[in-house]
Structure 1
Amino acid sequence: MIRPIATYLGRLRRDRRGATLLEFGLISPVLILSIMGIGDLAYQSYLRSVTRGVLEKAARSASVGTLNSTQLDAYIEAQMSAINSKNGTTSTTKKSYYNFSRVGKPEKITTDTAPLGSYNTGDCYEDANGNGSYDATSGSTGLGGADDIVYYEVTVSMPRMFPMAKLLGWSATQSATATTMVRNQPWANQSTPTIRCS
């Protein structure tokens, strides 16, 4: 005896087996992508924290004269070697300034001629980095001298932990940057910038 098709369709409509598998198939891609994204952001936060800790310890040592510029770079590279072993790179920037108010600013104009507010012929300025010319960024490369302010920046770049970066439009590498400013100890008299006129 042949059963009508309506009986089979009614049985199929009431059957709930496999519904969980279908729901998991719909939710799992979003869930897995979210977990990988959270893991990637957490790892970037970890990188930033480690980089900041290494930088601050190195900056304190350099401020009391324990490390010179080359030793500071070597110390940072040695401390970051475990992270860099995973195809990472570390770059360090050091600039010294006469005082905190000059960090990231142009050299101070002491005698300003028209047009006012910008450096032009006839102006006098404090040659903070001692190179004999006016600079829009006044810092000197390196650790500076006694009582100088040193701005440190360390950037770590490495491939992302998960390959999902392209799906979210992120770059294939991630980087973490740590910065700090430390005043060197006054082990000698701080040299005053020379006033130069053009």
Structure 2
Amino acid sequence: MRRLVRLIDTLRRDQAGATLVEFAIIAPTFMILLMGAFDLGHSVYLRAVLNGAIHEAARDSTLESGEASETTIDNQVETIVQKVAKSADVDFERKSYYDFTDVERAETINESGTANGVCDSGETFEDENGNNTWDSDVGATGFGGPRDIVMYTVTVTYDRLFPLYGLIGMSQENSMSVSTVLKNQPFGQQGDAATPETKPCP
């Protein structure tokens, strides 16, 4: 019995290997924090690269030759992005407006009841982009014409650096969108703003 007591007392006072045990407790949390920091840094860097790429591409798009060079311009952005995120899917969208004040503006609704900003049945709207549907954004798809305002949006979808997010119930896939708004070069006269037709809300 005394030997057992002495053995327990010896084990209690023995600190050999304590650091290893402490590290084993701390290591998982530390590694998760480290991977999260690297992943955040990667996302910030990718956004910075994407910002630079789309600003250069948008300037090329404002030239008269922009529409004819659409594939080349978009491929350049995709190539730059995929140097940082190899498996990234890159989607492009261009919307043109007559004036800067039109950017992401909704089509006007002639509201007869409560002003709720929704094109309700029985009301009418001004079909400014001519597609017979009320839109929350008056922009027309495409490059527009000379002196038009164009919003160029690039959306990147990519897998995160580390298989960390599945462990905490989040998606392993991340997505980011970056937009820039520029005015087309004066390579001709800007067309007059079309007079919208009044259409019934659906």
What interval of TM-score do these two structures reach, taking the shorter chain for normalisation? 0.7 to 0.9
The code of the aligned residue for 2:62 comes to S
Q: Measure, in 2, the Cα distance between the counterparts of 1:188 and 1:115.
A: 43
Q: Measure, in 2, the Cα distance between the counterparts of 1:193 and 1:126.
A: 12
RMSD of aligned alpha carbons: 2.6
What SS does structure 2 have at the residue aligned with 1:13?
A: helix
Residue 126 of structure 1 and its aligned partner are, at CA, apart by 6.4
Residue 115 of structure 1 and its aligned partner are, at CA, apart by 4.6
Q: Measure, in 2, the Cα distance between the counterparts of 1:7 and 1:81.
A: 65
Q: Measure, in 1, the Cα distance between the counterparts of 2:192 and 2:114.
A: 25
Q: Measure, in 2, the Cα distance between the counterparts of 1:96 and 1:35.
A: 43
Change (3 A) 1:8 1:98: same
Partner in structure 2 of residue 74 of structure 1: 75
Please list, as runs of the form range in 1=range in 2, the aligned pairs for 1:13-24 lying within 5 A after superposition: 13-24=12-23
Paired positions, count: 192
Partner in structure 1 of residue 88 of structure 2: 88
- Does the alignment pair 1:106 with 2:74? no
What SS does structure 1 have at the residue aligned with 2:92?
A: strand
Residue 143 of structure 1 and its aligned partner are, at CA, apart by 1.0
Structure 2 unaligned residues grouped into runs of 5+: none
Q: Measure, in 2, the Cα distance between the counterparts of 1:15 and 1:116.
A: 78
Query: Normalised by the size of structure 1, how large is the TM-score?
Result: 0.83
Q: Measure, in 1, the Cα distance between the counterparts of 2:18 and 2:123.
A: 83
| Residues 55-85 of structure 1, C-alpha deviations (whole Å, 9 max, x = no match) | 110001111334223443233233334346x
Residue 30 of structure 1 and its aligned partner are, at CA, apart by 0.2
Percent identity reads 33
Query: Normalised by the size of structure 2, how large is the TM-score?
Result: 0.82
The code of the aligned residue for 1:125 comes to E
Partner in structure 2 of residue 154 of structure 1: 154
- Does the alignment pair 1:46 with 2:45? yes
Structure 1 unaligned residues grouped into runs of 5+: none
Of 157-166 and 26-35, the range deviating more from structure 2: 157-166
Partner in structure 2 of residue 37 of structure 1: 36
The code of the aligned residue for 1:36 comes to M
Change (3 A) 1:186 1:23: same
